[in-house]
């Protein structure tokens, strides 16, 4: 959840949906560029883009070096780093290519970076992204009845609830076909070689991404590269078979060492967007905490933090409301809408928090599939912002919604000091592998540290000229 109230995100999503109608007919390069540009804005709002780290310029330089080897490119290409801890990369129509810091973190050479970027460039140049827009999108966090969304729930919050819980529209979450993947692998490694990069590196990074996914499956990772780019051993085998047939142009890399470029890169969740510790959500920049029900599935997106039960019959979410109005104003407006649209006379309930804040809430009884349920909206002013909370649950679970809303509180100094962040640190191995392991944060499994460095055992780790370890720091709000 980020520090902003914005309607741009959902307006962009609506526009993108309208543009998808174009898929039924021929799409010109200009239309592809328009579709890509609009969806790129949505990606930046939904996920966030990293621009401050020097790595952003480096990625763009490598990308443009690859583009320069295309025969008559149709688009102007743009490269950006997603503020996303999961290993991921995707291309939007019109030349918009994104790679996550989670994927960059597991790379160990510029050749691997070039392989992934070249693969995505081919998806664009061969118009794969535009062809895949009909693929299904990710499931919603919870499906709300149609009479609720767009009616009882505000347009923006309704969109937040009934859209995919991870970065998504059909462009991002669409799965490429095996044919498209094979074509992008083959043409991509050829493009990389033409720009002076080793084509075999694409096979290396594919295997390493698969190792990450397999290790983290135990921890229920979210969307990764292989959700949209199917991984099969056959892909790696095909790349390895093609490599001897490719001639590599002799050319110096953009930077002598990619590991030096990775130094200081944030690894894992970004505390600036808030973090979960079990079911407690802490936001150090917005200075609040809120406790969600035990065993509910939680999510944290730039514009909403929410949780749903396993049956997906109950939901609690929180976002920012328009700061032009007070919490009391928002509640009154909602009360008036219920009266005008549905003839329902709702009352506004208030709650005084122990820390001094006061919320204003409106409840609406309803019935879903024969189950008596309640919709509850609440507004609360805190600091410079107005927060809107939304709860929807069968009446048997309404106490969980109520207790979550009432758990909102200022972040204590003790809780703040418990929030840490991990950063990549490049070191020269002096001593044993065990000593290297001790230098790295225990918050990350030893097996993951080996994967990050592209080795399979500790002995091999100590033989590397440079090693990536993870340094843990108490989170400090950027100045």
> Do 255 and 222 fall within a single domain?
yes
> Do 406 and 426 fall within a single domain?
no
* pLDDT digit string, tens, across residues 266-278: 999 899 999 999 9
- Whole-angstrom distance, CA of residue 201 vs CA of residue 194: 14
Cα 339-345-348 angle, rounded to 5 deg? 105
> Do 283 and 307 fall within a single domain?
yes
Over residues 409-420, mean pLDDT: 95
Residue 314: which CATH number?
3.40.1000.10
- Whole-angstrom distance, CA of residue 196 vs CA of residue 50: 27
| Helix runs in 381-457, H state only | 398-406, 413-417, 433-439, 446-452
> Do 432 and 470 fall within a single domain?
yes
* pLDDT confidence tier of residue 2, bands split at 50, 70 and 90: low
Using the 3D structure, point to which of 248, 266, 284 is the last residue of a domain.
266
- Whole-angstrom distance, CA of residue 260 vs CA of residue 107: 12
| Residue 19 resides in a domain | no
**Residue 452 · residue 468 · CB < 8 Å:** yes
Q: Which string of DSSP letters, residue by residue, matches 212-236?
A: HHHHHGGGT----HHHHS---HHHH
| Domain region containing 192 | 47-135+174-266
| Residue 461 resides in a domain | yes
* pLDDT digit string, tens, across residues 333-389: 999 988 998 888 999 999 999 999 999 999 989 887 889 999 999 999 999 999 999
Q: How many domains does the chain have?
A: 3
Report pLDDT for 11.
32
> Do 111 and 74 fall within a single domain?
yes
Does the model's pTM come out above 0.75? Answer: yes
> Do 80 and 197 fall within a single domain?
yes
| Helix runs in 149-274, H state only | 155-161, 170-173, 178-194, 201-216, 225-228, 233-242, 258-262
> Do 390 and 303 fall within a single domain?
yes
> Do 252 and 374 fall within a single domain?
no
| Residue 402 resides in a domain | yes
Report pLDDT for 369.
82
Cα 197-93-89 angle, rounded to 5 deg? 50
Closest CA to 284 of 420, 380, 381, 407: 420
Residue 477 has pLDDT above 80, yes or no: no
Of all residues in the chain, what percent carry a pLDDT higher than 70?
Answer: 81
From residue 312, alpha-carbon distances to 148, 300, 431, 435, 476 in Å are 16, 17, 52, 46, 36
What φ, ψ does residue 473 adopt, rounded to 5°? -130, 150
| Residue 16 resides in a domain | no
Over residues 69-95, mean pLDDT: 93
Report pLDDT for 230.
56
> Do 320 and 433 fall within a single domain?
no
* pLDDT digit string, tens, across residues 126-154: 888 776 654 433 333 344 444 443 344 44
Over residues 185-203, mean pLDDT: 97
Report pLDDT for 167.
35
* pLDDT digit string, tens, across residues 249-262: 999 999 999 999 99
Residue 59 has pLDDT above 80, yes or no: yes
> Do 317 and 399 fall within a single domain?
yes
| Residue 441 resides in a domain | yes
Cα 318-133-219 angle, rounded to 5 deg? 50
* pLDDT digit string, tens, across residues 276-300: 999 999 999 999 999 999 999 998 8
């Amino acid at each position: 959840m980020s520090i902003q109230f914005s309607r741009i995100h959902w307006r962009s999503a609506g526009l993108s949906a309208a543009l998808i109608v174009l898929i039924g007919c021929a799409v010109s390069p200009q239309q592809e560029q328009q579709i890509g540009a609009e969806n790129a804005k949505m990606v930046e709002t939904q996920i966030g883009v990293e621009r401050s780290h020097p790595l952003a310029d480096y990625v763009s330089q490598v990308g443009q070096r690859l583009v320069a080897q295309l025969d008559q490119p149709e688009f102007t290409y743009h490269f950006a780093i997603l503020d996303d801890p999961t290993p991921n990369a995707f291309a939007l129509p019109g030349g918009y290519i994104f790679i996550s810091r989670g994927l960059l973190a597991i790379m160990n050479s510029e050749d691997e970076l070039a392989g992934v970027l070249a693969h995505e460039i081919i998806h664009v140049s061969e118009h794969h992204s535009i062809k895949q827009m009909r693929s299904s999108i990710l499931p919603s966090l919870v499906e709300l009845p149609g009479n609720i969304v767009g009616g009882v729930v505000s347009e923006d919050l309704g969109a937040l609830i009934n859209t995919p819980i991870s970065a998504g529209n059909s462009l991002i979450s669409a799965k490429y076909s095996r044919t498209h993947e094979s074509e992008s692998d083959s043409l991509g490694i050829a493009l990389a070689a033409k720009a002076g990069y080793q084509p075999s590196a694409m096979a290396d990074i594919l295997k390493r991404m698969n190792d990450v996914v397999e290790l983290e499956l135990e921890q229920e990772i979210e969307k990764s590269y292989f959700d949209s780019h199917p991984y099969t051993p056959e892909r790696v085998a095909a790349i390895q078979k093609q490599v001897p047939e490719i001639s590599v142009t002799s050319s110096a890399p953009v930077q002598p060492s990619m590991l030096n470029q990775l130094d200081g890169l944030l690894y894992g969740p970004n505390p600036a967007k808030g973090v979960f510790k079990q079911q407690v959500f802490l936001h150090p920049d917005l200075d609040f905490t809120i406790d969600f029900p035990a065993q509910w599935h939680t999510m944290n997106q730039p514009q909403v933090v929410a949780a749903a039960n396993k049956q997906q019959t109950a939901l609690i979410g929180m976002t920012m409301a328009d700061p032009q109005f007070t919490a009391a104003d928002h509640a009154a407006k909602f009360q008036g809408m219920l009266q005008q649209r549905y003839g329902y006379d709702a009352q506004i309930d208030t709650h005084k928090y122990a820390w001094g804040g006061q919320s204003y809430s409106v409840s609406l009884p309803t019935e879903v599939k024969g189950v008596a349920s309640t919709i509850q909206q609440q507004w609360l002013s805190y600091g410079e912002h107005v927060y809107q909370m939304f709860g929807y649950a069968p009446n048997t679970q309404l106490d969980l919604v109520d207790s979550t809303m009432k758990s909102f509180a200022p972040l204590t100094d003790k809780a703040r000091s418990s929030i840490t962040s991990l950063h990549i640190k490049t070191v020269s191995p002096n001593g044993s592998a065990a000593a290297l392991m001790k230098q790295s944060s225990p918050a990350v499994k030893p097996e993951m540290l080996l994967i990050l460095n592209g080795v399979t055992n500790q002995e091999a780790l100590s033989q590397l000229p440079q090693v990536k370890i993870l340094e843990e720091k108490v989170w400090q709000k950027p100045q």
